[in-house]
Each structure stands twice: as C-alpha cells, then as structure tokens.
Structure 1
Amino acid sequence: MLYDRLAAVRYADEWWNSYNPAYPKFDVDCTNYISQCLRAGGAPMWGYPNRERGWWIGGGTWSFSWSTSHSLRWYLAGSTRGLTATQVSSAEQLDLGDVIVYDFQNDGRFDHSTIVTAKNGSEPLVNAHTYNVKHRTWDYKDSYAYRPNAKYIFFKINDNFT
C-alpha cells in the first residue's frame, strides 16, 4: 500500500477551516485533523479496540494516537506496522503530507500537530486545526503559542505501508 501524499494534502486543504461530519470534533482538534488527513492519504489503521495501541478510529472511539499530539509523536517514532514514519533533523527535509509535532513549552509534552501542505522554496507550509490555519509557516514564530525554546519533531511519513 502506498501513501498518497496529494490526497492527504487535498483533504487538508478542503477541511482546514471546517469539520468533516464523518469524524468527531474535539475542542483541541489538531491531531484528529492530522489523522484524518493521513487516513485520506491511505494510511492503514490498526490496534482497535485498544486505545493505547496502534492508530485508529472506529466504533465510536479512537486510539490516543489518533487524537493527541503527544501520543501521535510516540506512535510515529516507534511504529513498525501500518502507518509508519522516519524522524528527520530539519523541516527542509519534509515533503507534502509529512507531519510536524510541537512542544511549545519545551516541557517534554508535545501539544500541537500539523501537516505539510505546501512549500515556499524549501520551507514547509502547514495546515492545522484548533486555531485553523492554511499554508502557515511551519515554525509558528508569528503565533501567540510560540516560545523561543520550542521543540519540533519532523516526521517523514513512509510511502509504503506494511
């Protein structure tokens, strides 16, 4: 199975400022939205019904990795089946459909997730929910949430799913 990066980006651009009624909406919706984008790109789900295992949504519930930035961060860092990713060292290494997770307070808890939906030269532009944005600069330096010591983790979504 191949990751369809353009399908993930099309979904992200379609739903960046609204909510797909086929999915639940959360007060903090960033990771739910990113998960929907990844799913639109063909990322396979697994782990149901164990909320602490895999990456999935179904049966009126979902895995923590589907809905929580910190859990998605750990899932992408360690998954060896289904949706997998490789951590890279810089934003410039990312392509469309890749994911960035943010620890704005640099306290070890990742509190935001985005998806790369465009590039300005080599600089990724991202979409996100909670405070909905489309094609925003990836580092959020113009955001109230930004802190100079913020930490970012860059994940290249693997193109082949097992």
Structure 2
Amino acid sequence: MYNREAAVAYANQWWNGRNPDFPSFDVDCTNFISQCLLAGGAPMYGYPNRERGWWMQGGTWSFSWSVAHSMRWFLGGSKKGLTARQVSSPEELDLGDIICYDFQGDGRYDHTTIVTAKDGQMPLVNAHTYDAYQRSWDYKDSYAYSPNAKYLFFKVNDRFS
C-alpha cells in the first residue's frame, strides 16, 4: 500500500538536504523523487539490470531511479511493483503523486517533482537539483521554463502488484 503521508513527510524533511544513505547527483531531482517513493513503501525490483524496473542496490541503480526521462517511461508503463496512471490535469493529483517535465517541449523529459501540498485544487511540489519546497507545479517562474513546456501527471497507484 502506498503511504502518501510518508512519501510527503520524506519530501518535506529532505527537500533542501541530501540523505547520506543515498548517493547525491548534480542533477538530483529524480533520485530525490525515487527516495520519496521508497519512503512511501514503493517496492524495488529489476536489480541488476539498469534498464529494467526501478531500484537502487549495491552501489548502483536503475536508470528509472535517477534519470527523469527514464522515470517518465517507467511510470507510464510499469505493470509490476510501483505503478501509476497518467491523468490529464494537475487538479487530479493528490499528495504523493508525480509530475514529469519536458521544459523544451522536445519529447525529452528533464525534471521530476512530487506533490506535497495543494493551493486550492492546484498542486504544490518539492524537488531537488534546484531545491524547491511547495513550489507552484507549473514552474513558470523557473529559468528552465519555456512556453513549449509539456507536463505529464502521474497518480501513483495505492496498491502495489
């Protein structure tokens, strides 16, 4: 069972720090989101194949653990363990859900965040790389934002298969 409260608590605890139990990356957004999902009880699988599953073990990790574009494809297609379904609008997201960002609109997803609060119906998100706490989900105030930006909204399934 996905514990959304635990995932959000982790995101709020570590949004501006790095948990020494995990490696830290220069581009750390997806690694941070993976840690949040793990704190929420998401099960890892796929070790040692870096191109399959979602995992961190033995000093290495899957691409989906640490690369935004890989996580986007993992969340969009996983049928085992951690699964999610894509929804069409940010208002449909709950705490603990995930947003993937393609800032250039070129089909390559380059950022990942977790919903940690709501402002009315709109999600507020936490993130790493440029650490953010309850930032507006659309990142329109970010240097990375462009009018071509595309977003994917993923509702994490509450039950793991």
TM range, smaller chain: over 0.9
User: Whole-Å Cα distance in 2 between the matches of residues 132 and 79 of structure 1?
Assistant: 28
- Helix, strand or coil at the partner of 1:154: strand
Q: CA deviation at 1:149?
A: 1.2
**Matching residue of 2:57:** 58
Matches within 5 A, 1:27-106: 27-106=26-105
Unaligned runs of 5+ in 2: none
User: Whole-Å Cα distance in 1 between the matches of residues 43 and 6 of structure 2?
Assistant: 14
User: Whole-Å Cα distance in 2 between the matches of residues 133 and 77 of structure 1?
Assistant: 24
Unaligned runs of 5+ in 1: none
Aligned length: 161
User: Whole-Å Cα distance in 1 between the matches of residues 120 and 27 of structure 2?
Assistant: 30
- Helix, strand or coil at the partner of 1:8: helix
User: Whole-Å Cα distance in 2 between the matches of residues 116 and 13 of structure 1?
Assistant: 10
TM-score normalised to structure 2 length: 1.00
Matches within 5 A, 1:1-20: 2-20=1-19
- Helix, strand or coil at the partner of 1:114: strand
The residue type paired with residue 146 of structure 1 is Y
TM-score normalised to structure 1 length: 0.99
Aligned residues with identical type, % of pairs: 73
User: Whole-Å Cα distance in 2 between the matches of residues 140 and 153 of structure 1?
Assistant: 13
- Helix, strand or coil at the partner of 1:14: helix
**Matching residue of 2:151:** 152
Consecutive aligned runs of 4 or more in structure 1 exceeding 4 Å deviation: none
**Matching residue of 1:114:** 113
CA-to-partner distance for each residue in 1:94-148, whole Å, 9 max, x for gaps? Answer: 0000000000001110000000000001000000000000000000001111101
CA-to-partner distance for each residue in 1:35-65, whole Å, 9 max, x for gaps? Answer: 0000000000000000000000000000000
User: Whole-Å Cα distance in 1 between the matches of residues 50 and 142 of structure 2?
Assistant: 32
Q: CA deviation at 1:161?
A: 0.2
RMSD: 0.3
User: Whole-Å Cα distance in 1 between the matches of residues 109 and 3 of structure 2?
Assistant: 26
User: Whole-Å Cα distance in 1 between the matches of residues 140 and 72 of structure 2?
Assistant: 21
User: Whole-Å Cα distance in 1 between the matches of residues 5 and 128 of structure 2?
Assistant: 19
